[in-house]
Amino acid sequence: MIVVVVGTATEVGKTWVAARVIKNLRAAGRTVHARKPAQSFDPSDPAPNDAEVLGAATGEAPETVCPRRRWYEVPMAPPMAARALARPSIALADLVAACTAPRGDVAAPGRTTADPILVVETAGGVRSPLADDGDAVDLCRALAPDLVVLVADAGLGTINAVLLSAGALAGQRVVVILNRFDPTSQLHRANREWLATRAGLEIVTDPEALAHCLLTPA
| Catalytic residue list | 36
N-term to C-term CA, the chain: 12
Q: Are 119 and 32 in contact (CB under 8 A)?
A: yes
Cα-Cα-Cα-Cα torsion 72, 74, 77, 82, nearest 10 degrees, comes to -50
- Distance (Å, whole) CA 129 – CA 91: 11
Rg (CA), the chain: 17
Nearest to 189 by CA among 200, 203, 175: 203
Q: Are 36 and 66 in contact (CB under 8 A)?
A: yes
Which segments of the chain are extended strands (E)?
2-7, 30-35, 39-40, 71-72, 112-125, 129-131, 134-135, 147-153, 174-179, 202-204
